[in-house]
Amino acid sequence: MKRDKKRINVRAYLYSLPMGIWVTLFFAIPIAIILIYSFLEKGLYGGVEWRASLAAYKAILNPNFLIVIWRTVYISVIATAICLLLSFPASYAMARSRHQTLFLFLIIIPFWTNSLIRVYAWINLLSTEGLINNVLIKLGIISEPIPMIYNLFSVILVLVYMYLPFAILPLFTAIDRFDFSLLDAARDLGCGRLRAIILVMFPAIRSGFFNALIFTLIPIFGAYTVPLLVGGMGSTMVGNIIVDQVQKTRNWPLASAFSVILTLISMIGVMAMLGSGKKKEEMNEKLL
Amino acid sequence: MRSYYKEKRSFSFSNLCLFFVLLFLFLPLIVVIVYSFNSGRAMVWQGFSLNWYRELFTSSVGLWKALWNSIIIAITSSITATILGTAASIGIKWYRFKGRTYITVATYLPMILPDVIIGISMLIFFSSVNLPLGMFTIYASHTTFNLPFTFLLVSSRLDEFDYSTIEAARDLGAREYDTMVRVVIPSIFPGILSAFLMALTMSIEDFVITFFVSGPGSTTLPLYVYSSIRYGVSPVINALSLILILLSMAIAFTFRRFLKSFAASA
């Protein structure tokens, strides 16, 4: 199958090198730069001084930053868990439905609608003069508006909203490929309905589940826009700190150190998930 | 044989969940659409009006400029990413060579890293080499985050390609160029097209990375929406929302046959 397997071939480079050069220049080198900068001293007016230092990593240990890191973990775990809990029954219903295309269409429309428009829509609903508060006051249920925005609640809610399709699409694909007659077999052998789903279906859709997990957890962990627009002082996340270090404090080493840590956590997360069982070989085959 | 799971039960726990999920996904969009026809500025209904649409089409010069920038960036970066990704997937699928693993990993990594990291690393890189921020830096960053997707989509199409066709073409005396243009590209064209469309939508949609690498005069549509939200919300955004939602509906409807393979690739 593979052409000229072991021989070095000019054509191989002719085809692959343009992309290789591109990703080296615009991805590998920038990432290498922030890795190096994270071990340097901060320059007086932004930029860096070329003196080795661990100051940036020590600064991360500042309790104020540690709180934000902890909060980011906490928000990501809760929002991802809600996404997965909602999307499992929803994608199950979609896969079993006769109107799969219609439901996919309905899931994909919000997914393809500009993300800022979707955040903006929630601002209209949740803010103090927003629709929900207006309606509740008019109905006489509350007299004072409920603070529903610029807090942890609004950040988690909108994150769930934004990343729900990322969980539904891979789960739907996995459940759709599942052979449902296996469930019938399990029931004929005396297994309960829920037990059949847990014991027979869950193991079979494991890779879809991991995809859903990766594609929700990692972007939520690095979220920037949502906490910026619907979050408040008590709900900033690591993404916001990184940007503030670049734009406001102009502390490049600290921003770099945070980026390195966020990158490492994301990569460890992906490795851990892919490392589970034969998924790894499958993934390698797919990649190479 | 009677199937326990094929019973048509319209009311079940999972159907109820799906209903609530769809309600949750659409409620904010519907509210925005309804209020785009409101004559007042606030979230209180004050009567039907098309004022915000008039304002959108007549006195929002910045918005149209931003849309134009978005379109230019989307088209140029998607073409670049599709060409580079297609060529590289041929090289990497069919040949063994030094650096093959490196190129593959370096291409896929941006897909799993948070957007903020890609944006910041590119910003720091561009500032370090004194490249002024603007349309070119946006183009470069969009091409980079599109590459893993174009590469992945074309590669998976190549998996289904029957290599013996190439041997047949060779035996019949075709040179490399003819083999590519007449045999390979036509047969993997659906993959190339879906890669290109995927890249287009991702480029038009991107906010976070663009936010870091854009400069004065290179505002894209998401950046324009962002600054309208940040500095005084105008209901013009409601009117714009309807148009963008209709646009994503139109695209999804046009590609309704491919939605399933899109879901599988996402």
- Are B5 and A96 inside 8 Å of each other by CB? yes
pLDDT of B224 > 70? The answer is yes
Residue of A8, A9, A27, A134 to mutate for B, most B C-beta atoms under 10 A? A27
* Nearest residue in B to A269, CA atom: B112
Strand partners, B38: B48
pLDDT tens per residue across span B47-70: 898 888 998 888 788 889 999 999
- Are B96 and A86 inside 8 Å of each other by CB? no
pLDDT value at position B72? 96
Chain A residues inside the 8 Å CB shell of B204: 114
pLDDT of A248 > 90? The answer is no
Reported as a pLDDT band with limits 50, 70 and 90, residue A9 is confident
Judged by a CB distance cut-off of 8 A, whether residue A179 touches chain B is: no
A contact residues 123-142, partner B, Cβ 8 Å cutoff: 123-125, 127, 129-131, 134
Q: Give the phi and the psi of residue B193 in degrees, each rounded to 5.
A: -65, -45
Q: Which of A2, A23, A103 sits opposite B144 (nearest CB)?
A: A23
Judged by a CB distance cut-off of 8 A, whether residue A43 touches chain B is: no
pLDDT tens per residue across span A267-283: 887 777 766 544 544 55
pLDDT value at position A103? 92
- Are A120 and B32 inside 8 Å of each other by CB? yes
Average pLDDT for B136-147: 96
Reported as a pLDDT band with limits 50, 70 and 90, residue A1 is very low
Alpha helices by DSSP H, A127-199 = 131-138, 152-177, 181-188, 193-196
Cα dihedral A156/A160/A163/A165 (nearest 10)? 180
* Nearest residue in B to A121, CA atom: B28
Give this complex's ipTM.
0.88
Minimal Cα–Cα distance from A59 to chain B, Å? 19
pLDDT value at position A280? 46
Query: Is the CB of residue B101 less than 8 Å from the CB of residue A288?
Result: yes
Helix, strand or coil for residue A107?
helix
Judged by a CB distance cut-off of 8 A, whether residue B135 touches chain A is: no
Determine whether B215 is exposed, middle or buried from the number of CB atoms within 10 Å of its CB (0-12, 13-18, 19+). Answer: middle
Q: From B110, B112, B265, B154, select the one nearest A170 (Cα to Cα).
A: B265
Minimal Cα–Cα distance from B197 to chain A, Å? 12
pLDDT value at position B10? 62
pLDDT of B7 > 90? The answer is no
List of domains in chain B: 13-49 (no CATH), 60-233+259-265 (1.10.3720.10)
List of domains in chain A: 67-275 (1.10.3720.10)
Judged by a CB distance cut-off of 8 A, whether residue A242 touches chain B is: yes
Q: Which of A153-162, B99-108, B256-265: highest mean pLDDT?
A: A153-162
pLDDT value at position A6? 47
pLDDT tens per residue across span B154-197: 998 888 888 888 888 888 988 888 888 888 898 888 889 888 98
